[in-house]
């Protein structure tokens, strides 16, 4: 276990190690990006898995589609290196791992969010009160067959006062909704425990996982835009199918969406 000036106390780190599936922990005061470090660390053959990298702050946090992930102290930023096959998940089901991660965060936040129910925006963003509270970046390291890096950023106690205008309007933190300060280690522990459980559900019964995910779907029955880069389609979202693809009904077809960007109209 490596200990920098850490976001968590040694007691909290020990508790995370004992009460969750993680077998290696790196804890940093500051990193460029926990995903960058995880991609590097994933190449070490003797790395005990799952491995966790957590940082109090990131100077170059990355989001999907090459976007920057803006965060400040008080947010929870971490990455995991794991092998989905350890839960029995085969290669064909890897896209569903992405849905599983969002669901695990949703389940971890739900008891804390009071009357406000977290929702999932396909594939794995978590929203509270129609604003984004969590983003997930999943990457596959080149030199580490079978391993994935799962980067998760959750707005917990951070404020958006200093954030650029788009985030100020579209993002929210848990403390803004609850009016309370939350313990980062508890939330991290809850995410890890739910992720372990949901990866087991995915391997044993993928349809249960998808049914559970669908119950939190934010876009179902809403009009959405699907941006494929070269073209965009607009229509009604019908939820997800048995493969975990998002279904979009346009005037002339039903599209099963596996990639690109979707947003509500």
Q: By the criterion CB under 6 A, which residues form the site for ligand BTN?
A: 33-35, 58, 61-64, 67, 69, 77-79, 125, 135-137, 151-153
Taking the complex as a whole, the smallest distance from the CB of residue 78 to ligand BTN amounts, in Å, to: 6
Taking the complex as a whole, the smallest distance from the CB of residue 92 to ligand BTN amounts, in Å, to: 24
Nearest to residue 118, comparing CAs of 155, 150, 160, 151? Answer: 155
Tokens of 211: 């049914």
Nearer to ligand BTN, 61 or 235 (CB): 61
Taking the complex as a whole, the smallest distance from the CB of residue 53 to ligand BTN amounts, in Å, to: 9
Nearer to ligand BTN, 103 or 203 (CB): 103
**Residue with tokens 């839960």, as numbered in its chain:** 87
- Long-range own/partner contacts, residues 108-114 (CB < 8 A, 24 or more apart): 108/187, 108/190, 108/191, 108/193, 108/194, 109/133, 109/134, 109/154, 109/174, 109/187, 112/174, 112/178, 112/182, 112/187, 113/174, 113/177, 113/178, 114/177, 114/178
Nearer to ligand BTN, 194 or 203 (CB): 194
Cβ-proximal residue to ligand BTN, closest one: 135
Taking the complex as a whole, the smallest distance from the CB of residue 120 to ligand BTN amounts, in Å, to: 12
Nearer to ligand BTN, 112 or 126 (CB): 126
SS3 percent helix, strand, coil of the chain, rounded to 5, is 35, 30, 35
Taking the complex as a whole, the smallest distance from the CB of residue 88 to ligand BTN amounts, in Å, to: 26
Nearer to ligand BTN, 191 or 203 (CB): 191
Nearer to ligand BTN, 93 or 125 (CB): 125
SS3 150: strand
Tokens of 133: 């509270």
Taking the complex as a whole, the smallest distance from the CB of residue 201 to ligand BTN amounts, in Å, to: 23
Report phi then psi at 216, rounded to 5.
-105, 5
């Amino acid at each position: 276990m490596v200990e920098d000036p850490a976001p968590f106390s040694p007691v909290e780190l020990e508790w995370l190690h004992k009460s969750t599936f993680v077998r290696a922990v790196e804890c940093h005061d500051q990193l460029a990006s926990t995903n960058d470090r995880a991609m590097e660390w994933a190449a070490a053959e003797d790395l005990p898995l799952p491995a966790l990298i957590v940082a109090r702050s990131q100077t170059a946090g990355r989001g999907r589609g090459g976007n920057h992930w803006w965060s400040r102290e008080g947010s929870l930023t971490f990455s995991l290196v794991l092998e989905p096959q350890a839960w029995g998940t085969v290669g064909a089901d890897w896209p569903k791992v992405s849905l599983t991660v969002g669901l695990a965060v949703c389940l971890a936040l739900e008891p804390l969010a009071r009357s406000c129910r977290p929702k999932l925006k396909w594939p794995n963003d978590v929203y509270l009160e129609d604003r984004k509270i969590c983003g997930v970046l999943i990457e596959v390291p080149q030199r580490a067959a079978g391993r994935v890096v799962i980067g998760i950023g959750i707005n917990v106690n951070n404020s958006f006062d200093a954030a650029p205008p788009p985030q100020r309007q579209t993002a929210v933190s848990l403390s803004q909704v609850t009016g309370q300060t939350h313990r980062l280690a508890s939330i991290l522990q809850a995410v890890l425990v739910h992720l372990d459980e949901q990866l087991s559900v995915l391997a044993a019964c993928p349809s249960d996982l998808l049914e559970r995910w669908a119950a939190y779907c934010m876009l179902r029955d809403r009009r959405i835009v699907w941006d494929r880069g070269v073209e965009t389609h607009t229509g009604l979202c019908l939820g997800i199918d048995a493969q975990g693809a998002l279904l979009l009904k346009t005037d002339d077809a039903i599209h099963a969406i596996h990639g690109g960007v979707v947003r509500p109209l």
